[in-house]
Amino acid sequence: MELTEDYENLRKFRLDGDGHRPQKRNPEREVGLAELDQGKLSPRVLYTALGLCILLSVLTLIIAVILMMQMWSETKRLDAGFQEELSNWKSKNREVNNTIMELQSEISHLWSNREVNNTIMELQSEISHLWSNLSLVQSISQWKLFKQSLYYFATNKITWDKAQEICAFMGAKLVVIKSGDVKEYIRGNIKCEHWIGLSDAAEEGNWHWVDGTKLDPNVMFWRSGEPNGAGKENCAQMYMDGSWNDVSCSSKLCSICEKRK
Question: Is the pLDDT score of 157 beyond 90?
Answer: yes
Last residue of a domain, one of 86, 110, 134: 110
**Residue ranges of E strands in 122-225:** 144-146, 149-158, 173-174, 194-199, 208-209
Provide the whole-model pTM. Answer: 0.49
120 within a domain of the structure (yes/no)? no
Burial 95-132 (b: 16+ CB within 10 A, else e): eeeeeeeeeeeeeeeeeeeeeeeeeeeeeeeeeeeeee
| Residue 47 confidence (pLDDT) | 76
User: Do the domain assignments include residue 237?
Assistant: yes
Write down the pLDDT at residue 15: 44
Q: Tell me how crowded residue 248 is: count the other CB atoms within 10 A of its CB.
A: 14
Q: Is residue 134 part of a domain?
A: no
Contacts of 148 (CB under 8 A, 6+ apart): 260, 261
Domain residue limits at 180? 143-260
| CATH number for the domain harbouring residue 217 | 3.10.100.10
Give residue 80's pLDDT band: very low, low, confident or very high (50, 70, 90).
Answer: confident
Q: What is the pLDDT of residue 182?
A: 95
Instruction: Looking at the structure, tell me whether residues 149 and 213 fall in a common domain.
Output: yes
- How many Cα atoms are found within 13 Å in the side-chain-facing hemisphere of 35? 10
Same domain, 103 and 155: no
What is the pLDDT at residue 94? 77
First to last CA, the chain: 157
Same domain, yes or no: 101 and 206: no
Do 65 and 59 form a contact (C-beta atoms < 8 A)?
no
Buried b (16+ CB within 10 A) or exposed e, 160-173: bebbbbbbebbebb
Picking from 203, 204, 241, the residue whose alpha carbon sits closest to that of residue 222 is 241
**Do 91 and 188 have their domain in common?**
no
Number of structural domains, the chain? Answer: 2
Q: Last residue of a domain, which of 51, 85, 110? A: 110
Quick: pLDDT tens for 22-56: 455 555 555 444 444 455 557 777 778 788 888 88
- pLDDT tens per residue across span 104-122: 777 777 666 666 667 777 7
Assign 72 a pLDDT band (cuts: 50, 70, 90).
confident
With respect to residue 219, please indicate whether it lies within any of the assigned structural domains: yes
Cα angle 120, 125, 127 (rounded to 5 degrees) comes to 95
What pLDDT does 187 receive? 95
